[in-house]
Amino acid sequence: MAKKKVRIDQSLCIGCGCCVGTYPDDFQIGDSGLAEPIAELGEEDAVSVCPVGAISVEE
């Protein structure tokens, strides 16, 4: 699957690390303790691993 532009809504993120554990090349836990994209592009399927719906992709 092609990578797409991903965003993490910091107001929803709980820092659980599901995205980092599943897609370590695309996400990291930042200094704030919340997830953030490593690069602008990430796997579209990452949306489904976030338990609080903080990850979104732009078409």
4-40 tens-digit pLDDT: 999 999 999 999 999 999 999 999 999 999 999 998 8
Print the SS3 string covering 1-59. CCEEEEEECCCCCCCCCHHHHHCCCCEEECCCCCEEECCCEEEHHHHHHCCCCCEEEEC
CATH number at residue 12: 3.30.70.20
Q: What is the band of 3 on the pLDDT scale with cuts at 50, 70, 90?
A: confident
CA distance 5 to 15: 20
- For the chain, the domain total comes to 1
CA distance 34 to 25: 16
> In terms of residue numbers, what domain contains 13?
3-58
Q: What is the pTM of this model?
A: 0.87
